[in-house]
Every structure is written in structure tokens, then in C-alpha cells.
Amino acid sequence: MAYKFLRLFFLISVLCVGTGCGLVKPHAVTPQQSKTGAGLVAVLPVNNKAGDERAGQILRQKVFYELYFKGYPKIPFDIIDEKLSKIYKENIGPKKESVSPQVVGELLNIDAVMYCTLNEGKTSFFYFRASTVISVDLELKSTKTGETIWRARYRTVKRSYGFSRRDLEMKSCQVYEPAIQEIVNKAMKTLPDGPDSLG
């Protein structure tokens, strides 16, 4: 009797976990975006909760180039940052990375704003292993309505092995950029193509 109860409990647990994992979607697209798409998209400075400035710069660059390859025209960072700095000098008011889409739309005459958040970007060491964790949120918002058009959230863990702490530190640095690229690639596969897409 106890054996049957244990099997039933195990089966129910597996089903609950399976359906729970299946219901979580790492990305979302509104029906309007899948039909029309946004023309001009500005990639704002990264909201860097991880504190690693280099990782934030890498993330912004990767998103910028992947948007271009998806058919969205390039808007150079210096133009975006210069326009934003006129209003938000010396960090008075909201940070550049959290400016409302409507304000950015007025400044740059664009259709949408890409907000990038680096939630995690850390490496932990345990004996002969280093684990590098990268977690990113991307959100595309309309400059007309302020509504979210598309969003994605991805996280990856890369492990490196070595015989010394120095060896592990070097190897973990080498996986950092490819880990960010992997996340951006996964996210951008779910973003509808831009107006200049060849596909």
C-alpha cells in the first residue's frame, strides 16, 4: 500500500513540475508587433544591477548589432547618449536607462526603445570550478503609447575548470562575452524582424 502511494505521489509531483515549467515563457510578443513591427529602435544604456561596467557595455553592443541583423536601422550610441545627457545632466532625475519611452521618442523621433537590464553577472569559485552566471532582461517599448511591444528574459550558467585560482579567473573571463552573446541570440530569435529585414 505504501509503495502504491509513493508511486502516485511521485507521478503527481512530476506532472506538477512539468506543467509548471512548461507554462513559463521567457519571451512575449504583442499581436500588434508581430504584424506591424517598429521601424526605428534606440538601445538605451544598460540598467546594470550586476555592477560590472564592461559587461553592461558588451550587452548593449550585442543587442545593437543583433537588432541591425534583424532589419532595424542603426542609431549610434553617441547620438542617443548626447540627446539624453541634455536633459539628465549629472544624474538629476531618472537615470538614462530608465527614461520614459515617450521622452526618448520626442528627443530622437523614433518608434520604440529597447531597455536592457543586466540582473546578474557574477562568477563564483569552488575548488577547481568557476561558475559564471549571466541574467538579462530585454524590453521593447512603444514611444507612442509606452506599452511593452516585446520582452525577453534569459539566464545562463557557464562552468570552467582549472587547477589554480588564476587559471579559473582567466577561463571565467573568456566565457563572459560568449555567454552574453548566447543570451542575446536566444532573445533576438523571438523578436519580429525589422523593416529592413531580408528574410
DSSP 144-171: TT--EEEEEEEEEEEEEE-SSHHHHHHH
Whole-model pTM: value is: 0.76
Burial of 170-194, coded b for 16+ CB within 10 Å and e otherwise, reads: ebbeebbbebbbbbbeebbebbbeb
pLDDT in tens, 46-101: 998 988 888 899 999 999 999 999 999 999 999 999 988 877 665 544 565 668 89
The amino acid that residue 118 corresponds to is: L
Give the SS3 label for residue 27.
strand
pLDDT tens digit sequence for 124-176: 888 888 888 999 999 999 999 999 999 999 999 988 888 888 888 888 778 88
What's the CATH code, domain 26-188? 3.40.50.10610
Domain residue spans in the chain?
A: 26-188
